[in-house]
Amino acid sequence: MFLLFFARISKFSGISAGVLLMASLAPAVALAEGDEYEEWTARFQTTYVWQKKSSFRAAYSGSQSLAAEAEKSYTATATAYLGFRPWQGGELYLNPEVTQGVPFSDLNGTGGFTNGELTRTAGTTPTLYRQRLFLRQTWNRGGGEEVVEADANQMAGHVDTNRFVLTLGNFSTLDVFDDNAYAKDPRVHFMNAGFMAPLAYDYAADARGFGWGFAGEWYQENWVFRFGRMTGPREPNMLPTDYRIGRHYGDQIEIERGHTLAGLPGKVRLLAWRDHARMASFDDALAYLRANPSADPQAIVAVRNSDKTKSGLGINIEQALADDLGFFLRAMKADGRTETLAFTETDASLGTGFSLKGARWGRADDTVGLGYLRNALSAERQRYLAAGGISFFLGDGALNYRPEQVVEAYYSVNIMRGVYMTADVQHIRNPGYNADRGPANFAALRFHAEF
């Protein structure tokens, strides 16, 4: 049984937020050596992020610029993770979610969003939507047994080391691909979207980051091979979904290798992806802009007249350096010829950093993180923006190009079981890839609870 009720948080720094609270208890059957097996699950998370940006220097600003004056932003999300086993090897999950929030500058003016939750929010009114509805089927193939611990969208039990897993339905590409133990979830790890996934990974999804499709995973000893296809938006970066998955889609394949170095675990992943959708090329948009100087500078909209293909390749490394210290690195390069389909305005990205647990000072469940991002644009995108063109999230009216660089540090304090408070700071140099603007500084507080 689970109890669900809706509560209203009082105003926080002048902004109200809706929060959903739920206590849950999933039935578990004791197995050998203390392991558990769940027939169904009902779990919950709620996260509130408050951020403040200081004013910064700007030689000029355009319609899609990060505002130079001081601003505040917040997000509030509350998610239920409901699931059960309909048959042997099968798991069916439903995630209803309530969101609310206000971004900095209507989410414009940076490559790396300072809060990965921002794309899910829908303004100052709490909005309920179906986040996920998917089936996961596992076919065990021997090779020994692994314990599966209970988590969100994961029921306690056991699986074979060698297995094939099919995920089918409504979910996020990032649920399956590009995992990382130290930098993945903006609700508990780093907040910047560049640590959630490589920003050059323009994975197909609606404006909230979800879609319909399938993903297969073949586990064999220390290797994993993944492949999948997902739906994208009808129009780039918009919410309505294009269900013509045979014509417009995002494909990805990933190879993962687990290993140990000096007795410490690590993983290396190689990821390749390709989008096929109705998008605009930057060269076509620039030609239109020059031929029609009085037209809308968001010329990419005017030249979306044929299907385009966009692709990229990246590497993802995680490595334990000690029992309490981890290192990560992601790097990805996209071809950069076409506009952004569904993620951020980035054509090449590098993200790296460290995550340290607090056992050394008697706080084993606390975490300290320090990370660095470097985001870059293709020559085609640079020329379009420098000519005064506007894309979905960028448009200063001009461009003195430099790669965007982000440094983020956070400290997460475990208050009680499943409840955390985090202090976070971010420094962005050349916001929006423009050396004539910035640097910009951000401070944040995050509350997160999971049951």
Model pLDDT, residue 18: 37
Per-residue pLDDT of 124-138, as tens digits, reads: 999 999 999 999 999
Q: Which of 30-39, 104-113, 127-136, 343-352 has the lowest mean pLDDT?
A: 30-39
Single out the residue of 188, 171, 190 nearest to residue 328, CA to CA.
Answer: 190
Q: Has residue 204 got a pLDDT over 50? A: yes
pLDDT category, 41, cuts 50, 70, 90? very high
Per-residue pLDDT at 438 exceeds 90:
yes
Question: What is the per-residue pLDDT for 35?
Answer: 67
Q: What is the pLDDT of residues 241-262, one digit of tens each?
A: 999 999 999 999 999 999 999 9
Quote the mean pLDDT of the chain.
92
Portion of the chain with pLDDT greater than 90, in percent: 90
What is the average pLDDT across 143-171?
96
Q: Check pLDDT > 60 for residue 22.
A: no
Give the Å distances, CA to CA, from 126 to 8, 19, 35, 123, 449.
Answer: 10, 9, 39, 8, 18
- How far is the C-alpha of 114 from the C-alpha of 53, rounded, in Å? 10
Above 60 in pLDDT, residue 32? Answer: no
**pLDDT tens string 380-423:** 999 999 999 999 999 999 999 999 999 999 999 999 999 999 99
- Interstrand relation of 223-230 and 157-160 (parallel, antiparallel or unpaired): unpaired
Q: Compute the distance between CA of residue 95 and CA of residue 78 in angstroms, rounded to an integer.
A: 10
Reported confidence tier of residue 306, pLDDT bands at 50, 70, 90: confident
Decide: residue 45, CB within 10 A, 0-12 exposed, 13-18 middle, 19+ buried.
buried
Residue-range definition of the domain harbouring residue 317: 2-450
pLDDT band at 64 (very low <50, low <70, confident <90, very high): very high
Examine the pLDDT at 364 and tell me if it is beyond 60: yes
The residue type found at 403 is P
Per-residue pLDDT at 25: 43
- Tokens representing residue 200 in the block: 């050059």
Read off the CATH number of the domain in which 198 is found. Answer: 2.40.160.180
Widest pairwise Cα distance in the chain: 73
Whether the pTM exceeds 0.85: the reply is yes
The number of folded domains in the chain is: 1
At residue 305, the pLDDT reads 80
Are 86 and 105 a contacting pair, CB within 8 Å? no
Radius of gyration of the CA atoms of the chain, in A: 22
Determine the average pLDDT of the residues in 416-441: 98
Contacts of 272 (CB under 8 A, 6+ apart): 252, 253, 254, 311, 312, 313, 314
